[in-house]
Amino acid sequence: MGRPSSLRSLAGTVVGCATLQAAAQDAQQWLDRMTSAVEELSYRGTFVHLLGDEVDTLQIVHRNDDGRISERIVSMDGVGREIIRNEDEIYCILPDRQIVLLENSRDVSPLVSALPNYSEDLARSYEIALLHTERVVERDAQVVAIHPRDEFRYGYRLWLDSETAMPLKSQLRDEQGRTVEQMAFTQIDIGENIPPSALEPTIDAQGFEWIMPSENGVTEESPQWRATRLPDGFQLSVATLTRMAGSEHPVEHLVYSDGLATVSVFVESPDSEPEVAGGLSRIGSTNAFSFEFSGRQITAVGEVPAVTVESIATSFASP
C-alpha cells in the first residue's frame, strides 16, 4: 500500500522541480528581452533617477534606424548636462564647465547604469523570479525580482512593459531590502517614428574644450597584486596599471564581478599621498573600504554591501 503513495510523492517532486525550472527560465527570458528592448526599440520619454539623496529628472530620445542607434539624454535639473550617442560615439556636454567629454562606454547613460546586465552565470549567485503584474505609467508591467543568494550582493526589482519588456521602473535594493537606487519613467512612448532632428544636441558646444578618454593613462605593465579570497561567484575581469589624473604615480586597478555586481579595487603606490580616509564609507548605493597595507593604500569600491568591499580589500596580498 505504501509503494503507490511513494511513487505519487516522487512524481509530485519531479513535477514541482520542473515547474520551478520553467519559471526561472521564463524570468531569465524577460531579462534577455529587457536587454534587447533598451537597445533595439525606438522610444522617447521622461524618467527620474534617484541615487541616495540625489534626484535627477531626465528626458530621453532613443532611435533605432535599421540597426543604427542614436540617442539623446538631457538632464532637466542642475546644469542641464546632455549625453549624445551616435552608434559607438558617445559624448557628454557639460555647459557649466564648457567641456565635452568623449566616452567609450554606454554605462555613462543614467538609464543603462541603473539596470542589471543579464548573463547565464547569474543563477549561481541570484534567484530570478516572476512576481505579479502592475500598472506603471499607464502600461501593464511584469514585475521581476532578482534575489541574492547570500549577503555579499544587492538585489533588484524590475517593472518590465508586458508588451515589449522595456524597463519602466528599476530598483536596486540593499541587504535590508531598502531601495538605494531607483529609475522610473513618468512618461514614455514606445515604437513611435522619431525624426533625426529629435537627436540633435540642444546645447551649442562651439568653443568648448573636447576631452578624449584617458586611454593613454594605461601602461603596458600588469598589476601584481591580487585578492586571495573572494565571495562565491566573483572573478577578476579587468586588471590595469593606470596613471590617475593629477598624480605621477601609477595605480593598480582591478575589477571583480559576479556578472552583475562589480567591485573596483585600487592599489596605490607607496610614494602617493592617498586622499581616501581609512575604514568604511558610503555614498548613496556605493560602499567603499580603504586601509593601508605594506605601505600601500588599498581601496575597494562598489554598489555592493559593506561586507563585500571589506572582505575583498582585506584579502589582498603582495606579489
- Of 163, 193, 211, the domain-final residue: 211
Q: Do 294 and 197 lie in a common domain?
A: no
**Amino acid 6: pLDDT:** 57
CATH number at residue 303: 3.30.200.100
Q: Do 274 and 309 lie in a common domain?
A: yes
Q: Do 258 and 199 lie in a common domain?
A: no
**Amino acid 189: pLDDT:** 96
Alpha carbons 5 and 12: distance in angstroms, whole number = 10
Q: Do 38 and 113 lie in a common domain?
A: yes
Per-residue pLDDT of the chain (319 residues; tens, 9 = 90+): 455 555 555 445 444 434 444 556 788 899 999 999 999 999 999 999 998 788 999 999 999 999 999 999 999 987 789 999 998 889 999 999 999 988 876 666 888 888 887 777 788 899 999 999 999 999 999 999 999 999 999 999 999 999 999 999 999 999 889 999 999 999 999 998 999 999 999 898 899 999 886 544 444 456 678 899 999 999 998 888 876 655 667 788 999 999 899 999 999 877 666 666 679 999 888 999 999 888 889 999 999 999 999 999 999 876 6
Alpha carbons 266 and 89: distance in angstroms, whole number = 28
Residue 313, classified by CB atoms within 10 Å of its CB into exposed (0-12), middle (13-18) or buried (19+), is: buried
**Amino acid 218: pLDDT:** 47
Q: Do 168 and 279 lie in a common domain?
A: no
**Amino acid 82: pLDDT:** 94
Q: How far is CA 177 from the centre of its chain?
A: 18
CATH number at residue 145: 2.50.20.10
Say what the pTM is: 0.83
Q: What share of the chain is helix, strand, coil (3-state, %, to 5)?
A: 20, 45, 35
Q: Do 110 and 224 lie in a common domain?
A: no
Q: Do 31 and 167 lie in a common domain?
A: yes
The range of the structural domain enclosing residue 234 comes to 215-317
Q: Do 184 and 241 lie in a common domain?
A: no
Alpha carbons 284 and 298: distance in angstroms, whole number = 21
- Of 211, 231, 261, the domain-final residue: 211
**Amino acid 268: pLDDT:** 87
Q: Do 236 and 200 lie in a common domain?
A: no
- Of 211, 234, 257, the domain-final residue: 211
Q: Do 236 and 205 lie in a common domain?
A: no
Q: Do 89 and 121 lie in a common domain?
A: yes
Residue 185, amino acid: F
CA angle 118, 50, 278 (to 5 degrees): 85
Number of domain units in the chain: 2
User: φ and ψ at 17, to 5 degrees?
Assistant: -65, -40
Q: Do 158 and 14 lie in a common domain?
A: yes
Q: Do 69 and 63 contact (CB within 8 A), yes or no?
A: yes
Beginning with the edge strand found earlier in the chain, give each strand of the sheet holding 235-243 in spatial order.
235-243, 250-257, 262-268, 296-302, 286-293, 279-283
**Amino acid 16: pLDDT:** 44
